[in-house]
Amino acid sequence: MNYIPKFLNAQPQFLWWDADEFIILIGGTLIGIIFDMRIICILSAFIAQKIYAKSKDHKQVGFLYHKLYSLGLLKSPKVPPAYIKLYIK
């Protein structure tokens, strides 16, 4: 049976996780394999995924991108830097 999403902009899912939450889990697992600390990294990735999912559920769409931009971690070519708060002509 094919999966039909409830909304057109719904993210793909793997089991019960959205794609972005699943990437956090896979990233933690891969880091654990690389540094030979599997259990610690998998548990920390699971905790990070839970924190991310909880914050994603209670915020507006695009909140993470806005937060990364305001911290200066995400750049946009069309928007001036976030540290400029006042424009004087």
Q: Give 12-47 pLDDT, tens digit per residue.
A: 777 877 878 888 889 999 999 999 988 999 899 999
CA dist list (Å): 9 to 4, 5, 6, 39, 85:
12, 8, 9, 34, 32
The stretch 73-85 carries a mean pLDDT of 74
In a domain, 80, yes or no: no
Amino acid found at 48 = A
Residue 36 lies in a domain: yes
Tokens found for residue 54 = 């909880």
pLDDT at 4: 67
Number of domains in the chain: 1
Q: What pTM did the predictor assign?
A: 0.60
The parent domain of residue 47 ranges over: 13-59
Residue 73 lies in a domain: no
Judge whether 18 lies within some domain. yes
